[in-house]
């Protein structure tokens, strides 16, 4: 159990370091070109996520995301105690990843983002993003388990570009990114809207799955 907790903590920390670090680097090298910065940010995130899932998947399942862990709990594949432990590791790991990135780039370690990300379109985007991510993982586990790392990584990479919210789809990521006033930041006041949309999507997904799940045939009398 401790190995799985450590894998979730380290994996989420590295994921956020990749997200934030590539955002800082992309914005710096893009010289104000937001498209170039987003391109670098999305490619680095997808590539890093692929590696993390391949290496840490056998240890913890490589969730790195509270709503993904919630989905597996609803499927009976994660005990409640372990779910809470995963959440603690994911949130704390995500924040640590942001702080480590600030240290690498010689920035103030503790920051507060001023980047506004709000509005109905953004919230709908996050709800749809989370539904897509959970669906991809659920279907992938059933139909293409050996290709899960590639499928998830490519989904996230594409999500950066076709959603208005840039595909956060992760409460731990949403909270952690409020601690960085860089390209990937989100104002703290806007975090609640993101998390609410993500949890709503998770609830919808879990309910839909429970409704369409095949029932076991009743025993003959």
- Half-sphere exposure in the Cβ direction for 195 (13 Å, CA): 18
Angstrom distance (rounded) from CA 195 to CA 183 = 20
Q: Which domains does the chain have, with CATH numbers?
A: 2-212 (1.20.1080.10)
Q: Give the pLDDT of residue 184.
A: 98
Checking if the pLDDT of 107 tops 90, the result is: yes
Model confidence pLDDT, tens digit, residues 166-180: 999 999 999 999 999
Model confidence pLDDT, tens digit, residues 150-209: 999 999 999 999 999 999 999 999 999 999 999 999 999 999 999 999 999 999 999 999
Model confidence pLDDT, tens digit, residues 68-103: 999 999 999 999 999 999 999 999 999 999 999 999
Checking if the pLDDT of 218 tops 80, the result is: no
Q: E strands of 18-57, at which residues?
A: none
């Amino acid at each position: 159990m401790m190995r799985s907790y450590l894998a979730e903590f380290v994996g989420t920390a590295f994921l956020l370091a990749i997200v934030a670090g590539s955002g800082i680097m992309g914005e710096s090298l893009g010289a104000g070109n937001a498209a170039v910065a987003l391109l670098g940010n999305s490619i680095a995130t997808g590539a890093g996520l692929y590696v993390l899932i391949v290496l840490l998947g056998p240890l913890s399942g490589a969730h790195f995301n509270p709503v993904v862990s919630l989905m597996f709990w609803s499927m009976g594949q994660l005990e409640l105690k372990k779910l809470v432990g995963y959440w603690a590791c994911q949130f704390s790991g995500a924040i640590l990843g942001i702080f480590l990135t600030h240290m690498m780039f010689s920035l103030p370690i503790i920051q507060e983002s001023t980047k506004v990300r709000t509005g109905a379109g953004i919230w709908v985007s996050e709800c749809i993003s989370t539904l897509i991510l959970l669906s991809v993982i659920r279907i992938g586990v059933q139909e293409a388990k050996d290709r899960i790392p590639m499928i998830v990584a490519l989904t996230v990479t594409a999500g950066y570009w076709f959603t208005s919210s840039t595909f956060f789809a992760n409460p731990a990521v949403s909270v952690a990114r409020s601690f960085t006033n860089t390209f990937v930041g989100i104002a703290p006041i806007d975090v609640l809207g993101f998390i609410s949309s993500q949890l709503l999507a998770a609830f919808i997904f879990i309910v839909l799955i429970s409704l369409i799940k095949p029932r076991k045939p009743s025993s003959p009398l």
